[in-house]
Structure 1
Amino acid sequence: MNDDANATTERGTGSVPARQGSKRNDLTAHYSASQLRSDGWNRLKNATARLAQRQSDGKSRREQLAHFEVTVERLLDELDPIESYWAFPGRHAMDQLRHMFVQREYATLAHTVGRVTRSLMSDSYRRRHIHLIPTDDEEEDDRGADTAEERARARPYFEVMIVDDLSPHQEHTLRASLRDKRRAEDPFVYEGVVVGSFEDALIGVLFNHNIQAVVVRYGFPFESRHDMPVLKRYLNRLGDESFEDIPPEDLGMSLAYAIGKLRPELDVYLVTDQSVEEIAGKACENCRRIFYNQEDYMELHLNILRGVTSRYRTPFFTALKDYSRQPTGVFHAMPISRGKSIAKSHWIRDMGDFYGMNIFLAETSATSGGLDSLLEPHGPIKRAQELAARAFGARQTFFATNGTSTCNKIVVQALVKPDDIVLVDRDCHKSHHYGMVLAGAHVSYLDSYPLNEYSMYGAVPLREIKHRLLAYKRAGKLDRVRMLLLTNCTFDGIVYNVERVMMECLAIKPDLVFLWDEAWFGFARFGPTYRQRTAMHNAQTLRERFRGGDYRAKYEAWKAEFDKLDPEDDATWLDRPLMPDPDAARVRVYACQSTHKTLTALRQGSMIHIHDQDYKGKVEEAFHEAYMTHTSTSPNYQIVASLDIGRRQVELEGFEFVQKQVELAMILREKIATHPILSKYFRVLRAKDMIPSGFRESGMEAYYEPGHGWADIWDAWAGDEFVLDATRVTLEIGRTGLDGDSFKNQELMDKYGIQINKTSRNTVLFMTNIGTTRSSVAYLIEVLVKIAQELEERLDDSSDFERDLHDRKVASLIEDLPPLPDFSRFHDSFRFGGREETPEGDMRRAYFLSYDGENCEYLNMADGTLDAEMARGREVVSSTFIIPYPPGFPILVPGQVLSREILDFMRALDVKEIHGYRPELGLRVFTEGALEAAAAKKN
């Protein structure tokens, strides 16, 4: 995962690179190198302050002073190798600090370390140059100079990694040469950091989130001068490629390729002494420019700025800002445009005070004057969508201002015709179910594996998907199967092996369309580990793989062995990996993302990403019509602009933010697991709790275990059928005696203002995001401790009767949970092909049949009417969607037969909300006469 890209421990045995002869860092207490770096500087600040104080006292015994000297030296040893990958404070500063330490200049050392630490914690080094030792005309305390005005004037800062084997003097000259090329009109400012080998370059782009460009020079070795066994794990993350035996002349190109796999957003510039014309034809996609031999530093400087500018550009946001500054007269719609109706008002001026005027100056329904139409984009919106496609690895990207619910319906309508069969994850978002109704699809529901003890579902096993496709193949209906629709990742954090699912499904049906609902997974593109489980990344991967000769050879060998097996035996297909025919398989992949849920965008800002080989020839016109059908003719331009600006952010700092997001979730896991009172009443669900062992081929059980430390999860993410998104922290709360909904409202929200939006019977879900801070995690831990302490005190003061009541509540939440019901079946009136053949149903027909009230009646669960009807053998068929919340998935859809298991599950749930169910009336179901008429009409 992204911050796992920084993780350097493997069950307590990992290490951070250290210089030869120095002590190796022990990271058992830290999830990532960035966490170690931050904590390391704070510890060094405290240690040097104490050391300076002891020296100035003059009364300390020598052994006391020696104790602090050992501590400071150890901390310097820990930070020294890490800082070699950062421009600030950097390797030269570490040498200065060590010199101060050796010379016993402890007061100067403490002062300098304090300045560095404050600059790192406040990010002030990004806004101005920080002198390690203040000059005479510089303020001693740099904290006061960090004004809002200065921050507004400051240019964005980044770092450029230069890969070359240089002496300290050569390194200083190179960095100074680039710094001398700065101009006042430059839009950005950067500093260079020099690393000396192939391995150092890889570790640098994973450690240093400030890096935006890499200059790869020639003549550097493969191996690092540091002792870094952890790098072997990083190299494994690049896939099957081996880089150790690369000829020296090919190291530069190979490094550019490797960096592109780890961080595709980075610009790479090659400096070579070989034929640039020959190399240019082999350059990878992220290589922006090749320079021959001794580069022109000004040209390199300008290219670096130009590359970052291309990501910084926000076509529509900029156009909207420019429009808001123009003097205009509004003589059509929208009185609120330019804020006129607010400024004239005597009664709603507080609205203008609250929001500020810019939002109203930018509010318009105009599509001219430098703006654009979302429905027919040709200008800045079109360019903004093209930049988003580049950022997210798509062929086409479309913005949506109605949320991902609308995106899902657009894609389904564009691709699915009436009577097409669609395989759908049954516990997916309700928009998909309604989308099936609108499209007229024949729905074939797939059941996820149940997590009965937590009242939630996992995800759909690949074996189940393949089994269903084979059933349609044998029934002669495979040509009608149009789409596979899955949620990745699920609300609870279960993530599919996207590559494996698409590979094996294409082996059975080569033209199958995939719709991946990534509503909660938009951030995943910007972390090396997460990226490999995203739809767009794997679409591109499969496209390239099917074109390659190596895959074709492997396929031919696999096919020769497969043809020897019995094709009618299910085990032939289900018990071994399948490989699609590269000549027949078509890569057709769609992903819908709620940008506003996981990245920076206004509410309802979403994107549709497409990588479909047949889009231009088969889908483009239908997609355009579907987009026009569901998109408002008055889209909110503020939402569109926020999507544009959100794309800019993740291209330039998504790696950093996602890295920290994962790190904070890991810290939360650790603190809950190791805190004595928290671990008594709460437990974070682990991978082994949420993913059965059969789907965890790596054997990884937890990200963190007390006494064992952090697990290296790369192997799990690379190969397991399902993995757990670390940013989702599912907390089991059954031992508190409160159900999830009560815990959410009575404890977290009402008392402490902590917002969450997902609970189950005995769990609550906390999600970190790119806006989460360490202080917010600390506050959550503090609140959980208070809740646990209050519960502890209440139980201590309880009578025997009260304690027995609490124990019974706990048992009902932990032990007496109803099993989750599977999808039963569609009634025969809405089936075509016979009950025993295939399970799809015409949900649209059932949905609109219920519009006539005479076709429906209510059967009450409370007075026994419903039980009596089922007891006499009646097939009770739902006419509506029935959705208990929590858990929030439909347990009945129109046309579905009510089973005894579903009825028992509804009775066992003590939730307040069951959408579609009216307790005073009962379940709305079809009359027997309506079903008979529907069956007759079908025939």
Structure 2
Amino acid sequence: MRSIGAALNDLGLEMCWTHRTTDALAVIVSDASLAALLVAWETPGTENLLTAVRSRFHRLPVFLMPSDGQDLPLWVYEVIHGYVFPMEDTPTFIAGRIAHAAEEYADRLLPPFFGALYRLEDKHRYSWHTPAHAGGVAFLKSPVGRVFFDFYGERLLRTDLSISVPELGSPLDHTGPIGEAERNAARVFGADRTFFVLNGSSTANRIAGHHAIARGDAVVVDRNCHKSVQHALTITGACPVYLVPERNGLGLAGPIRPSALDAATLSQRIESHPLATGDPTYGVITNSTYDGLCYDAVRVGELLGPVVPRLHFDEAWFAYARFNPLYARRYGMAIDERTMPGGDRPTVFATQSTHKLLAALSQASMLHVRSAERAPVDYSRLNETYNMHASTSPLYPMMASLDVAAAMMDGPSGAFLTGEAIAEAIRFRQAMTRLASRIREDGRRPEWFFEVWQPPSVLDPSTGQTVAFADADPALLATEPRCWALEPEASWHGFGGLAEGYCLLDPIKVTIVCPGADAVDGTTEWGIPARIVAAYLTRRGIVVEKTGDHTLLVLFSMGITKGKWGTLIDALTDFKQAFDADLPLQEVLPGFGPPATTLRRFCEQVHTVIRDSGAATLLDEVFTNLPEPVVAPSECHQALIRSGTERVPLSDLPDRIIATSIAVTPPGIPMLMPGEDTGPGDGPIMTYLRTLEAFDLAFPDLATEIHGAHRDAQGRYQIEVMTR
């Protein structure tokens, strides 16, 4: 065996020796650079090793050294690549067999487009085409360019190529390796066709809408939509009819009630709409929501299908759903001939920001399509729309990252990688819950701590017993969807009107709840504003995804480790200690907030303003009781570009027609859409905007980021409205 190892070293392969099963399992789970495995069958734990390989790798060559005359289980033959009998061949020959298999495995690893780009880079050809930096050479002619070159490295710049390179195919015609990569991604993600989209799912949303919506069409739209959906409505001249999601006391947007999606309710809503006419041609649902609520997509298709022939799921944050059984039926491409047979099945579009929670470069996204007979997709015509939004100078490393992201999800690795992320999120959730319990039981510290928004207990179907979430078997939580279902009228989630199994909380999207708010009752008497906690975490090098009044959202992507979430728990614990000790604010957050106060007093001051303003109630009213639509979004945009709008302060805003969307970001969900009336000065919209403005003026370090609200020199809001 030592001779085989030496021969492999001569061939450029490093032998990693392990002498214990636990060590071997650790290597298999953690080391993605493995190229082959050589194992003796009689070694204790070999079956566990082979099982781990099968669940982690796709076609990793495994060579087995069997005992003479021993029958192997049938499943082992499906895992192994071949046998090695060390005493029957020379070490050099055996090493050569292993190296050849490892080389073939490495070649098969590369998906179509990345493989072509990888091989092309090795040809060292002169470039006579764009981009002008010519593989990075131009950067070397300037001092600052040299810094840029050294920072990113030559290989990235050498693979930044022109669309005119024939070996790579065309991203506009979907030919060559690029076309192969898109077809491979369609297979992996379960679509009929997949389009690689740069500039994020914002562009993918605009492509889907621009293709499927004609001018004047009535479109059923989730009000909890990204602003890019509204852009598609503006481009097409559609008339949106909004579906209103639930809201809870924490300010989180919930699902749309199933009763709001049935045919009779939708027909009534369209008939009573002041602008919409005719049957809707398109529907848009956000899935999962920014806060991690995902629908039974098949059920949504069954409800909307009889009315809406084309259904678009904005799955910007949900690209991984197909690859773990926990999310069965909960993604757009799950709607197919098998799950929804019959003539009511709609054509389905799914737009995914691949870069958000899979491994891809920023802006790398995909548009998946599954056509149905009711509204068949002509892909050549769809491609005409695609080309209207696609660049003729794409960044090929970004496209390669899409190809690699699909390959990473292919085969057993998809379930393995998503399972790892789910497992880490569950460990964090349980650790937070246990720590909160220990603090309450200790008696020597103030009892408060940060909570996690999740079911307080779960049902174990194998025993029929209900157990506390912190005590539940992590394997149960990682595999049983019912543990995460929003049961109808359950108080922990605070949403009403749900049906059994209709909506699920995604475990990898973790909402941390600061003291001061409750899912049912809203803002409580005392509390700690989340924006102050977020500012503290930022000083500690921890950046959360989204901050509400009393909630923090953290995402457990495939890149999250125990070290990362352990550091987050430590930082939250340190914040508690600083708060309980009433340390000076400038000691905890130097340069932040008023100079002569303490952390506790500052938190109390900010929370009192939030509580007394009734912000939680106003937020619910603004997003539940929608403003009256007066003109279509496209008319507002025409007025905007032809000087038919003006910018006014809040004092002049009542009873005006909004010209651009007003969206609190993150997550960028509009509270006012173009063409809607702001309502009276004492209405919920105006009251809420004045509340936000007053808060920003009082606490500029905690100011809200609002797209569409421009600030003047004094920090007061200026809003674009239609000219009277």
TM-score strictly above 0.5: yes
Deviation (angstroms), 1:310: 10
> Secondary structure of the equivalent of 2:671?
coil
Compared CA separation, residues 438 and 114, structure 1 to 2 (3 A): closer
Structure 2 unaligned regions, length at least 5: 1-15, 44-56, 85-93, 441-446, 458-463, 486-499, 517-525, 588-595, 696-702
Deviation (angstroms), 1:663: 0.6
User: What residue in structure 2 maps to residue 747 of structure 1?
Assistant: 536
- 884-893 or 401-410: which moved more? 884-893
> Secondary structure of the equivalent of 1:818?
helix
Aligned pair partner of 2:367 in 608, 618, 621:
608
User: What residue in structure 2 maps to residue 6 of structure 1?
Assistant: none
- The answer to which structure has the higher helix fraction is 1
2:550 is equivalent to residue 762 of structure 1? yes
Compared CA separation, residues 478 and 499, structure 1 to 2 (3 A): farther
- Cα distance in structure 1, aligned partners of 2:22 and 2:293: 43
Matches within 5 A, 1:807-846: 807=604, 809-810=606-607, 816-819=614-617, 820=620, 821-822=622-623, 829-830=630-631, 842-846=632-636
Deviation (angstroms), 1:434: 1.0
- Cα distance in structure 2, aligned partners of 1:514 and 1:393: 16
User: What residue in structure 2 maps to residue 705 of structure 1?
Assistant: 469
2:533–2:575 Cα contact (<8 Å) kept: no
Q: Which residue identity lines up with residue 572 of structure 2 in the other structure?
A: L
User: What residue in structure 1 maps to residue 82 of structure 2?
Assistant: 179
Aligned pair partner of 2:637 in 834, 847, 852:
847
- 170-179 or 657-666: which moved more? 170-179
Compared CA separation, residues 393 and 117, structure 1 to 2 (3 A): closer
Q: Which residue identity lines up with residue 279 of structure 2 in the other structure?
A: R
2:584–2:598 Cα contact (<8 Å) kept: no
Matches within 5 A, 1:1-80: none
Deviation (angstroms), 1:517: 0.5
Q: Deviations over 1:555-599 (max 9, x none)?
A: xxxxxxxxxxxxxxxxxxxxxxxxxxx2x3243101001111111
Aligned pair partner of 1:490 in 289, 296, 310:
289
Number of equivalent positions: 610
2:561 is equivalent to residue 773 of structure 1? yes
Deviation (angstroms), 1:126: 7.0
User: What residue in structure 1 maps to residue 490 of structure 2?
Assistant: none
2:458 is equivalent to residue 666 of structure 1? no
Q: Could you tell me the TM-score, scaled by structure 1's length?
A: 0.59
> Secondary structure of the equivalent of 2:281?
strand
Matches within 5 A, 1:318-337: 318-337=115-134
Deviation (angstroms), 1:531: 3.5
Compared CA separation, residues 688 and 721, structure 1 to 2 (3 A): farther
- Cα distance in structure 1, aligned partners of 2:75 and 2:481: 36
Deviation (angstroms), 1:484: 1.1
Matches within 5 A, 1:103-502: 112=20, 115-116=23-24, 119=27, 123=31, 128-129=37-38, 157=60, 169-171=70-72, 179-180=82-83, 184=96, 312-451=109-248, 453-466=249-262, 468-471=265-268, 479-502=278-301
Q: Deviations over 1:853-911 (max 9, x none)?
A: 454351434xxx55xxx5xxxx3222221122356321112211113111222233334
Q: Deviations over 1:733-788 (max 9, x none)?
A: 235954333322x21112x2112221111111011011212222222222222222
2:310 is equivalent to residue 513 of structure 1? yes
Q: Deviations over 1:120-164 (max 9, x none)?
A: 675598755467999xxxxxxxxxxxxxxxxxxx99736799xxx
> Secondary structure of the equivalent of 2:182?
helix
Compared CA separation, residues 860 and 620, structure 1 to 2 (3 A): same
Deviation (angstroms), 1:917: 1.7
Compared CA separation, residues 682 and 113, structure 1 to 2 (3 A): same
1:112–1:133 Cα contact (<8 Å) kept: no
Compared CA separation, residues 178 and 380, structure 1 to 2 (3 A): closer
Q: Which residue identity lines up with residue 170 of structure 1 in the other structure?
A: D
- Cα distance in structure 1, aligned partners of 2:578 and 2:600: 15
Deviation (angstroms), 1:432: 0.5
Q: Which residue identity lines up with residue 846 of structure 1 in the other structure?
A: C
- Cα distance in structure 2, aligned partners of 1:473 and 1:853: 32
> Secondary structure of the equivalent of 1:501?
helix
User: What residue in structure 1 maps to residue 493 of structure 2?
Assistant: none
**Structure of higher CA gyration radius:** 1
Structure 1 unaligned regions, length at least 5: 1-87, 94-110, 135-153, 162-166, 191-304, 547-581, 690-699, 831-841, 932-939
- Cα distance in structure 2, aligned partners of 1:387 and 1:512: 27
- Cα distance in structure 1, aligned partners of 2:198 and 2:233: 21
Compared CA separation, residues 702 and 632, structure 1 to 2 (3 A): farther
Compared CA separation, residues 813 and 180, structure 1 to 2 (3 A): same
> Secondary structure of the equivalent of 2:668?
coil
Aligned pair partner of 1:787 in 571, 575, 590:
575
- Cα distance in structure 2, aligned partners of 1:702 and 1:923: 53
> Secondary structure of the equivalent of 2:167?
coil
> Secondary structure of the equivalent of 2:635?
helix
Compared CA separation, residues 170 and 677, structure 1 to 2 (3 A): same
Compared CA separation, residues 470 and 702, structure 1 to 2 (3 A): farther
> Secondary structure of the equivalent of 1:673?
helix
Q: Deviations over 1:679-729 (max 9, x none)?
A: 82200012589xxxxxxxxxx999962456666643467851111000011
Q: Could you tell me the TM-score, scaled by structure 2's length?
A: 0.75
Compared CA separation, residues 328 and 660, structure 1 to 2 (3 A): same
Deviation (angstroms), 1:603: 1.1
- Cα distance in structure 2, aligned partners of 1:437 and 1:443: 10
Compared CA separation, residues 377 and 677, structure 1 to 2 (3 A): same
2:63–2:81 Cα contact (<8 Å) kept: no
1:665–1:768 Cα contact (<8 Å) kept: yes
Q: Which residue identity lines up with residue 381 of structure 1 in the other structure?
A: I
User: What residue in structure 2 maps to residue 654 of structure 1?
Assistant: 414
